[in-house]
Amino acid sequence: MDEDCEKKYINQIHNVFACTSKRVANFLDWIKEQKFYDDTVIIILGDHLYMGGDLYTQNKSHYERHAYNVFINTEKKAAFSKNRAFATFDFFPTIVEALGIEYDGDGLGIGMSLFSNKPTLLEQYGEKQLNEFINSKSYFYRNELLNKKNTPLK
């Protein structure tokens, strides 16, 4: 942890979280004062929950934890701003829309824009079935991409 971060908690990870939160808040305060703020979309995404042991497991039955995500200063408004079931691939069309880029439909790739009122694949199929789909074998991937000798990927 950086020397300029305050060490006010016994548990080091609490100090890390506090310092990170303060730095993000300071950055957001700074960017709001800049001339370009009105033309800037800010996206903060967490890609996973804390994975370092039992820090948050004592009261696990009392709440459901999710990775943090927020879209700041976008002209798009979400149809549902809370309690959506989504996967990381849903961020692709969501970010594109947040930037003001228009495209046909409500999704890109296998992702669905979270600004849309259309259900994501996770909402349609649930976690278990969606994971089965994603983990299933792909003929095209195995035979046309992975096993090609002339592929530009080395």
How far is the CA of 152 from the CAs of 143, 145, 148, in angstroms? 15, 10, 9
To which residue do tokens 């950055």 refer?
A: 27
pLDDT for 64-73, tens place per residue?
667 788 899 9
CB atoms near residue 112 (< 10 Å) = 27
CB 151 within 8 A of CB 145: yes
Q: Which helix (H) or strand (E) holds 71?
A: strand 69-72
Of residues 13 and 34, more confidently modeled: 34
User: What's the whole-number mean pLDDT along residues 22-34?
Assistant: 96
User: Averaging pLDDT over each range in 21-30, 70-79, 97-106, 138-147, which range is the top one?
Assistant: 21-30
How far is the CA of 153 from the CAs of 54, 141, 150, in angstroms? 41, 13, 9
pTM value is 0.75
CB 99 within 8 A of CB 71: no
User: What's the whole-number mean pLDDT along residues 59-84?
Assistant: 76
